[in-house]
């Protein structure tokens, strides 16, 4: 029986695993499974698997349950859900009995939470919603005939893409007594509310990372580590460098802090490698364990079947003799050991993604994917062999019925003697075919050996899909990433031209029918391409950057003067010139390429006015242009995590545009 092509509507069938966690005895794995159910609503529920792959669903209903964690004493699992309240609560499902709420929080947002090793406490972050924006507050204003409440703020950071406008409200660190369910405030001292924390092995204090700056978004990064006792008193760990810090871990033997970080004060966008540092918990000598390697702990491999994650994950080995981490390199993602003597050893090999997420004894569980395989739960039981064994097969029925096209690897030589890594997916049958060049976002991320539904849809429609990691991408060493720091449209443009020339030279590609598309930085590069060449017959710019001068003040992460980019947008012409030089809109005078503009009104990362400028300029130039504007309820990551019907709509718009012009 022949297989059918991939379709747009297939996204409704995907079952996506996430966040696997070993049980305290290592015999079972707790994980999340996201599906699209009634009325096209995405719902995440918690499941448990044994090491043979036998799975049982733990939570039910139309409300999502997420962030599942085992109680260290094995008495049950905790999770976060809004099933019985106006807002999310920390819930507990005992080994025997029904799930119940451990907290009675007011309306707001639960951030991270962690069990104490003795299972007596849970530390968590929570941001309360301002009264006038709660369901109760809105109802009271409506009943009184009042308008929607205005948002007033004096904070430099008051919004975040995917999170919305929170004004002056901030996350605070709280302590929950599991037995009494009493909640007390531990810390509210961080100016921007970003806490990273970890319990001491003795359960009597926490290590906490927070900014030491009064105004973190104006000043150079200076995260520090504090030892916070259960009464809220604290001591700063002495002798630590400035810079960004994350993923704090307290060693099981109680002697050492480890964290992932960067000491470069001029790197707000992740250009430099993220390294692993250690120091005694009482302060003292700080050592960079990965300084002699060219790996970064924060390489994000992009896909539309998983969330984009730009954070580092590290974990201590149980004997405190080494650390584990996840390394992205050359489009791959692997599990690794980080030696206390310095250096990184990759345990897994191959053209795949394996994002380890939880360790127990000599094994690790994570999420595994390839270009032809939707992510599934997988385990490595022997680090010496590095053999990856998949545990689940939630998507096997879909795979057995559908023709998923393979990705072929390419390496191209650029005119300035660098190597450009990429992939090509061909349709079934015989060419020559029209082709689409996809440019990833970031820019400091990577395409790789991941399943990408959008690419498969285009191949099924008869288009060759080409995607590469031009300079600026991560996974190829710091110099490769740093090549475009504050200087977009230079080395990356050389690499895009190299990919373009290669496409034109291939006999299986019809060089008269080529299109270019991308989102975020990929939208920036699409705008740059149509302003500098007419090689492409049509273009699609999605959630794009077009004008750095205007974007400097309307992104959720505002640009600082002479930070990543030199100059600033509120000075004289000399201050503005560097931002304008790198703005694609400044080259739009002679653009003739038909362009589809896709943008979300709720995008707080790349404001929708960026797309509106592209549309307005091209319309006034008489260029065939279509603007698809998604509602304010969506955000920058809509193509990955937006409502299913709007994701379907977006893909249909893309396919229709290519049919029209290619």
Query: Span 7-12, mean pLDDT?
Result: 98
pLDDT of residue 559: 85
d(CA 39, CA 413): 49
423 within 8 A of 408, measured Cβ to Cβ: yes
Instruction: Please write the tens of the pLDDT for every residue from 81-99.
Output: 998 767 899 999 999 999 9
Does residue 153 lie within any of the structural domains?
no
Does residue 384 lie within any of the structural domains?
no
Hey, what long-range contacts does 35-41 have (CB within 8 A, 24 or more apart)?
36/11, 36/12, 36/644, 37/62, 38/62, 40/12, 40/643, 40/644, 40/645, 41/644
Q: What residues contact residue 152 under an 8 Å CB cut-off, 6+ apart?
A: 167
Does residue 255 lie within any of the structural domains?
no
Does residue 482 lie within any of the structural domains?
yes
Does residue 227 lie within any of the structural domains?
no
Does residue 522 lie within any of the structural domains?
yes
CB-based burial, 116-155: b 16+ in 10 Å, e otherwise: bbebebbbbbbbbbbeebbeeeeeeeeeeeeeeeeeeeeb
> What is the chain's alpha carbon radius of gyration, rounded to the nearest angstrom?
25
pLDDT of residue 353: 95
d(CA 112, CA 197): 9
Q: Please say whether the dihedral angle defined by the alpha carbons of residues 159, 190, 225 and 102, taken in this order, is positive or negative.
A: negative
pLDDT at 191 over 90: no
Average pLDDT, whole number, for the chain? 95
588 within 8 A of 529, measured Cβ to Cβ: no
Instruction: Please write the tens of the pLDDT for every residue from 369-408.
Output: 999 999 999 999 999 999 999 999 999 999 999 999 999 9
* Residue-range definition of the domain harbouring residue 488: 403-547+583-661
Local structure of residue 471 (DSSP, 8 states): B
Q: How many domains does the chain have?
A: 1
Instruction: Please write the tens of the pLDDT for every residue from 209-222.
Output: 999 998 888 888 99
Query: Span 354-377, mean pLDDT?
Result: 94
CA angle 200, 103, 182 (to 5 degrees): 65
Q: Of the segments 186-195, 215-224, 615-624, which one has the largest average pLDDT value?
A: 615-624
Query: Span 518-525, mean pLDDT?
Result: 98
d(CA 224, CA 279): 12
Six-digit token pair at 67?
């962030």
d(CA 627, CA 612): 8
CATH of residue 619: 3.40.50.1820
Does residue 389 lie within any of the structural domains?
no
DSSP codes joined into one string, 91-106 = EEEESSS--EES--PP
d(CA 578, CA 436): 31
- What is the pLDDT confidence band of residue 362, given thresholds at 50, 70 and 90? confident
Does residue 593 lie within any of the structural domains?
yes
CB-based burial, 23-35: b 16+ in 10 Å, e otherwise: beebebbbbbbbe
Instruction: Please write the tens of the pLDDT for every residue from 248-295.
Output: 999 999 999 999 999 988 777 789 999 999 999 999 999 999 999 999
pLDDT at 492 over 90: yes
Instruction: Please write the tens of the pLDDT for every residue from 626-658.
Output: 999 999 999 999 999 999 999 999 999 999 999
Q: Please say whether the dihedral angle defined by the alpha carbons of residues 548, 551, 556 and 562, taken in this order, is positive or negative.
A: positive
Cβ count near 380 (within 10 Å): 23
Residue with the bigger pLDDT between 268 and 104: it is 104
d(CA 493, CA 481): 14
């Amino acid at each position: 029986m022949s297989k059918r092509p991939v379709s747009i509507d297939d996204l409704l069938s995907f079952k996506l695993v996430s966040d696997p966690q070993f049980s305290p005895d290592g015999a079972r794995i707790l994980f999340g499974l996201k599906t699209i159910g009634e009325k096209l609503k995405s719902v995440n529920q918690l499941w448990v698997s044994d090491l043979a792959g036998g799975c049982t669903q733990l939570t039910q209903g139309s409300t999502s349950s997420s962030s599942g964690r085992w109680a260290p004493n094995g008495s049950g699992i905790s999770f976060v859900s809004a099933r019985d309240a106006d807002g999310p609560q920390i819930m507990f499902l005992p080994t025997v009995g029904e799930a119940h709420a451990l907290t009675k929080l007011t309306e707001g947002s639960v951030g991270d939470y962690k069990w104490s090793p003795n299972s007596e406490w849970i530390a968590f972050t929570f941001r309360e919603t301002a009264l006038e924006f709660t369901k109760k507050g809105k109802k009271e204003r409506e009943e009184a005939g009042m308008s929607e409440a205005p948002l007033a703020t004096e904070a430099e950071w008051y919004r975040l893409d995917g999170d919305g406008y929170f004004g002056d409200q901030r996350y605070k660190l709280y302590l929950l007594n599991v037995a009494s369910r009493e909640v007390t405030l531990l810390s509210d001292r961080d100016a921007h509310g970003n806490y990273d924390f970890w319990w001491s092995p003795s359960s009597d204090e926490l290590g906490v990372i927070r900014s030491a700056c009064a105004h973190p978004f104006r000043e150079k990064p200076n995260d520090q580590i504090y030892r916070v006792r259960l009464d809220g008193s604290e001591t700063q760990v002495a002798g630590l460098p400035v810079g960004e810090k994350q993923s704090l871990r307290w060693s099981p033997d109680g002697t050492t802090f480890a964290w992932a970080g960067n000491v470069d004060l001029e790197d707000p966008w992740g250009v430099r490698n993220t390294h692993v540092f250690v120091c005694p918990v009482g302060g003292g000598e700080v050592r960079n364990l990965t300084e002699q390697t060219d790996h970064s702990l924060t390489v994000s491999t992009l896909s539309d079947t998983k969330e984009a994650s730009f954070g580092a994950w590290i974990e201590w080995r149980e004997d405190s003799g080494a650390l584990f981490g996840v390394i992205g390199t050359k489009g791959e993602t692997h599990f690794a050991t980080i030696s206390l003597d310095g250096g990184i050893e990759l345990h897994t090999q191959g053209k795949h993604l394996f994002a380890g997420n939880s360790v127990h004894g000599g094994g690790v569980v994570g999420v595994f994917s390839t270009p032809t395989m939707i992510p599934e739960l997988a385990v490595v039981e022997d680090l010496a062999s590095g053999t990856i064994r998949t545990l689940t097969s939630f998507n096997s029925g879909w795979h057995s019925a559908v023709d998923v096209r393979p990705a072929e690897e390419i390496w191209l030589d650029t005119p300035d003697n660098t190597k450009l890594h990429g992939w090509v997916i061909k349709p079934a049958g015989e060419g020559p075919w029209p082709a689409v060049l996809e440019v990833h976002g970031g820019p400091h991320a990577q395409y790789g050996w991941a399943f990408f539904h959008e690419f498969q849809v285009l191949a099924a429609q008869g288009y060759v899909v080409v995607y590469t990691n031009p300079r600026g991408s991560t996974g190829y060493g710091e110099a490769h990433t740093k090549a475009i720091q504050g200087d977009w449209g230079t080395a990356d443009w050389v690499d895009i031209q190299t990919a373009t020339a290669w496409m034109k030279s291939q006999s299986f590609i019809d060089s008269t029918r080529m299109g270019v598309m991308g989102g975020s930085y990929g939208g920036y590069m699409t705008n740059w391409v149509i302003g500098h060449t007419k090689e492409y017959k049509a273009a699609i710019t999605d959630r794009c950057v077009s004008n750095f001068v205007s974007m400097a003040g309307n992104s959720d992460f505002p640009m600082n003067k002479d930070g990543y980019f030199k100059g600033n947008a509120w000075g004289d012409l000399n201050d503005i010139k560097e931002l304008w030089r790198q703005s694609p809109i400044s080259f739009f005078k002679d653009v003739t390429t038909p362009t589809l503009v896709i943008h979300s009104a709720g995008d707080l990362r790349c404001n929708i006015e960026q797309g509106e400028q592209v549309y307005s300029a091209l319309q006034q130039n008489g260029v065939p242009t279509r603007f698809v504007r998604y509602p304010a309820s969506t955000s920058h990551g809509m193509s990955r995590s937006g409502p299913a019907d709007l994701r379907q709509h977006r893909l249909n718009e893309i396919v229709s545009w290519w049919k029209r012009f290619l």
